[in-house]
Structure 1
Amino acid sequence: MARPVIPAPLAAHLEPLPHLRAGFERFLAACFDTDAVPAATLERCRRLVAALHGAAPAACGPAFAELPPGEAEALARGECPPGLAPADALALEIAAHLPWRHHDLPDAPVLAYREACGERAAVTLLAALAMFDALCRMTRAASRLEGA
């Protein structure tokens, strides 16, 4: 696999289980389909979810794309950067409901994203958001286990 998608702290815990790690890596790569959702959109969402978890983006997985410094700073504060394309703003609106308010996610932004970007993009975005949330949680748990 050309590009690792498992955060380094979590990958270290999976080293003794190479088959599990390889399968997990393939599964995550399928969730992070940059042919369906642009890499920059996924990166914005990844950074926002990490910020909502109180984690550094690097701790929750490798970057998908470089972002302008102003965008990266806004996302680190848990804010949506101004001036984004409508589809990116919708993706971040959806991402903002992860990790702590996923039950409150309204249908409107998801349906608007699907209308703007297509069914495949909407499904990919939702899968990627769930995985960003899970990776942040697993990475934070793995870090705590190291200190136990």
Structure 2
Amino acid sequence: MVKDLKQKIGWLLALVLILPVSGALLASFFTGNYATWKASQGPETTAIVLSKSKEKPPKSGVYSYHAQLAFAVSTTDSVTAIADVSRSHFQELRPHSQTRISYDPQNPQRVLLAAEHWFQWESLPILLLSISLLWACRQALSRKTPAGV
């Protein structure tokens, strides 16, 4: 009786909570890295650094570094975009200096410094957590399905 109840709760928990959470984590990993990959595949140009900022989100111990950049998309059109940059590049950038960037032609707001790599190593724990949650869900669902669920 108690074993059957534990099995039902584990099965429902796997279906209702773990599967959607791991799916959302996987989606955030792939969309974040896809956006930077897409920007890295675009044309390269020179941008002017307008400003830079360092933020520490509330309840987080990790700083995020941003640079506001202006660059020409065509001879008549220019774009101002904010790029996420690594700490080392953040320290090197100076306002009103020039830097090489690549951008997504369909969405010029997606900008990547030419010196940066498109894969974000900070997102790797998200991928590992989502894979382990999927594995736990698979283990819970591979057990015999409880009767009456």
TM-score (norm 2): 0.27
Provide the TM-score with structure 1 as the length reference. 0.27
Select the structure that is richer in helix.
Answer: 1
Higher strand share: 2
Bigger Rg over Cα: 2
